[in-house]
Structure 1
Amino acid sequence: MFMIKYLYLLIFSLGLLACNTGTPTAKSQHYQSAALEIQKVTDHVYRHTSFLNSERFGSVSCNGMVVFNKGEAVIFDAPTDDSAAAELINWVEDKLHCKVKAIIPTHFHSDCLGGLRAFHQRQIPSYAHGLTIEKARFNKEAVPQNGFDTLLTLPVGDKEVYAHFLGEGHTKDNIVGYFPAGRVLFGGCLIKELGAKRGNLVDANVQAWPMTVSRLKEKYPAIKIVVPGHGKPGGTELLDYTIKLFAQNE
């Protein structure tokens, strides 16, 4: 009887310790509502998915990435509307026990900028390529606050994340996000999931696209996990697939 009571006490104490350290619990590893889905990628990375209604493609699932460490988080791409964005911010604060330090849209389309106002309303600073800012202002969308040209490095706890422009592809301003400590790349719409078609090419530079992805592979050879802008994550085979897809003459 004494041993049983001791085991109960030990389990209860360990549960309290997990809560006090802010470690994500099993319940926080997957979240789903009508507007938003969040899935664990690695110990410090989650993929968030929201949905965009498109006349040409119907309802499209749109990915973003959350990187968190030691009470801080940086998010790549806002969900597609302010309501889903507010839901994501609340989840990061309540479940990961983190303060969102930055939002980084990876290009000027609404699948990256749609929910940006919700971040600004919560006093969360936004960062984007200078051309993304210009395009958002021209299109009368929510405008990112801070611009950069090639490379942005931001701290997340005692780690770093990169936002990097490596060339044109899906758009002239498309950037990628990289978390080197976890070897996780957020490719955004520059990178396609396996089996995907070319998709929306209205603002694309198809000729430059495979060269940009090749440059990305060369710059970050340690990449282990790739999260595309739409569809399922994978490994570096997504980079190779994207290169092949756009190197074909059509």
Structure 2
Amino acid sequence: MRTLLTLLFFSGLIVSLQAQSAKKPGLLVTPLNKQVFVHTTYGLYKNEAVPSNGLIIKTKGGIVLVDTGWDTDTNTDNTRELLRWVSTNLHQPVRLCIVTHAHEDRVGGISELRKAGVRVVSTPLTAQKSVKLGFESPEAVLPNDTTFSIGNEPIRCYFPGQGHTPDNIVVWLPNQKILYGGCLVKSVAAFGMGNLADANLNEWGNSIQNLMTQFKSARIVVPGHDEWTDTRSLAHTLQLLKKHAEAKK
């Protein structure tokens, strides 16, 4: 009996520790300047809480989000908290959300945005893939390279080529010299390539080189996960790709 109780105790302790390790921090918002903020929410990957970045862009015509919070088809708490933060702190309506590819850390909160009356846009491929994953479809209106303005703030959505996924796009803010690379770009804090389930490793390096050519004037590059710096994350991504290829030989 004592042995059984001991086993039950340690089993309960293990479950408790696992639950603690899976606990996710709340929303974090970090200003890059007076107009652009990074929103960071957390999801679980291999039972670890992992940060996921997106942008909040303040314009004279309202707020533009880049990517939703990291949510699932059954829980949109992160995006709900993001909308609450914008309302409380910026006092402007969210006009638009651009989603950069069809993974749950980018599109997971679409249903929450729709409830709030926010328009969500993507490329046609991202829209198709979102539906296949069980999420609501964003409007498939973005071509591979397009620039539009909201509140006199130009925003460029650009497909540099396949990499992390076949549909990954980046967002460029020319007035701010900020490039949001999303999951195509690995943070300088990253030691590995992360989720490669939908990756095109043969083209990823070419796509990064394309970014380096297109956005030479970038001052800040924000990756999809972890910390951001200037443009060093682009070269770091190439180094990680090279190490991954060498390890596979």
1:104-119 aligned within 5 A:
104-119=98-113
The share of aligned pairs that are identical, in percent, is 31
Aligned partner of 1:202 in structure 2 is 197
Q: Compared with structure 1, are the counterparts of its residues 195 and 85 closer, same or farther at alpha carbon in structure 2 (3 Å cutoff)?
A: closer
Partner of residue 168 from structure 1, selected from 154, 162, 172: 162
CA contact 1:71–1:97 (8 Å) conserved in 2: no
Partner of residue 41 from structure 2, selected from 50, 54, 69: 50
SS at match of 1:209: helix
Q: Compared with structure 1, are the counterparts of its residues 232 and 195 closer, same or farther at alpha carbon in structure 2 (3 Å cutoff)?
A: closer
CA contact 1:129–1:165 (8 Å) conserved in 2: no
TM-score, normalised with respect to structure 2: 0.83
State the 1:43 CA deviation: 1.8
1:84-95 aligned within 5 A:
84-95=78-89
Equivalent-residue separation in structure 1 for 2:111 and 2:91 (angstroms) = 22
Segment drifting more, 79-88 vs 178-187 = 79-88
1:176-195 aligned within 5 A:
176-195=170-189
CA offset digits 1:194-229 (Å, max 9, x no partner): 141111111001111111011011111110001110
Equivalent-residue separation in structure 1 for 2:204 and 2:91 (angstroms) = 38
CA offset digits 1:37-85 (Å, max 9, x no partner): 111112211000111112x262111111111122511111100122221
Partner of residue 233 from structure 1, selected from 228, 232, 242: 228
Equivalent-residue separation in structure 2 for 1:187 and 1:119 (angstroms) = 22
SS at match of 1:84: helix
CA offset digits 1:161-206 (Å, max 9, x no partner): 1111110000000011111110011111001111411111110011
Aligned partner of 1:244 in structure 2 is 239
Give unmatched runs, 5+ long, in structure 1: 1-32
Equivalent-residue separation in structure 2 for 1:174 and 1:146 (angstroms) = 14
CA offset digits 1:91-120 (Å, max 9, x no partner): 222211222111111110101011111111
CA contact 2:26–2:41 (8 Å) conserved in 1: yes
Root-mean-square deviation (CA, aligned residues, Å) is 1.6
Aligned partner of 1:5 in structure 2 is none
Task: List structure 1 runs of 4+ shifted beyond 4 angstroms.
Answer: none
CA contact 2:189–2:227 (8 Å) conserved in 1: no
Aligned partner of 1:8 in structure 2 is none
* Aligned residue type for 1:214: Q
Equivalent-residue separation in structure 2 for 1:184 and 1:148 (angstroms) = 20
Partner of residue 73 from structure 1, selected from 63, 69, 73: 63
SS at match of 1:207: helix
* Aligned residue type for 1:240: A
TM-score, normalised with respect to structure 1: 0.82
1:95-134 aligned within 5 A:
95-134=89-128
Equivalent-residue separation in structure 2 for 1:147 and 1:246 (angstroms) = 31
Equivalent-residue separation in structure 1 for 2:171 and 2:104 (angstroms) = 18
* Aligned residue type for 1:127: V
Equivalent-residue separation in structure 1 for 2:182 and 2:125 (angstroms) = 16
SS at match of 2:160: coil
CA contact 1:67–1:156 (8 Å) conserved in 2: no
